[in-house]
Amino acid sequence: MILETATALICMAHAIYFEARSESTAAQMAVGHVILNRVEDPRFPDNVCAVVTEGQRRQHDGSIRRNKCQFSFYCDGKPERVYNLPAYTKAENIALVVLYNHHTYDLTDGATHYHADYVTPFWADKFTLTTCIDRHCFYK
C-alpha cells in the first residue's frame, strides 16, 4: 500500500509539473482533481498512474502512440526531465494535498477533461465547460 501511494504521488506530481508548472496553484490543483475525477469515473482506469499514462497503444507491441495520450506530456516525444526543482517541489506538495485531503474543494466541479485555452479540441463541444483557470479550460 505504501509503495502504491508513493507511486501515485510521483505520477500525479509529474502530471501537474509537466502540464501546468507555469500556472497558478489553483490551476495546478485543478489538474490534480481531473486525475482524481477520472480515477473515480468508471470510464477511466482506477488508479492515478494508469490515468496519467493512458493512451492509444500499438497492437503489435503495446507501445504508446506518439501524441495519442490523455495527458500530452506523456507521449509528446520529449524527455520527462525535471529542470525546475522549486516548481517540481510545488507540484509534489500540490499532489500531496489533492491525494490526501479528499475534502479539498474541487475547483473544476467534477471535470474529467481539460485543454489549454489556445486550442479547441474536437471533443470540447461534447462536454460541459465547468471553468477556465489561467490557461486551462475544464469540462465534465
Mean pLDDT for the chain overall: 86
Cα–Cα distance, 17 to 80 (Å, whole number): 10
Residue 3 has pLDDT above 60, yes or no: no
Domain contains 129: no
* Distance in angstroms (rounded) separating the CA atoms of residues 120 and 122: 7
Rounded to whole angstroms, how far apart are CA atoms 140 and 79?
30
Does some domain include residue 116? no
Is 21 a domain residue?
Answer: yes
Residue range(s) defining the domain that contains residue 48? 2-104
Domain presence at residue 56: yes
Number of separate domains in the chain: 1
Distance CA 32, CA 19 (A): 10
The pTM for the full model equals 0.86
CA distance 134 to 124: 17
Residues 29 and 124: their CA atoms lie apart, in Å, by 21
Kindly list the distances between the CA atom of residue 45 and the CA atoms of 10, 21, 103, in Å, as whole numbers in the listed order: 17, 24, 22
Single-letter residue type at 27: A
Question: 64 near 52, Cβ under 8 Å?
Answer: no
Q: What's the CATH number where 54 sits?
A: 1.10.10.2520
Residue 136 counted as domain residue: no
pLDDT at 76 over 70: no
Greater pLDDT, 59 or 55: 59
Residue 7 lies in a domain: yes
Confidence of residue 68 (pLDDT cuts 50, 70, 90): low
Residue 125 domain-assigned (yes or no):
no
Let me know if residue 53 belongs to a domain: yes
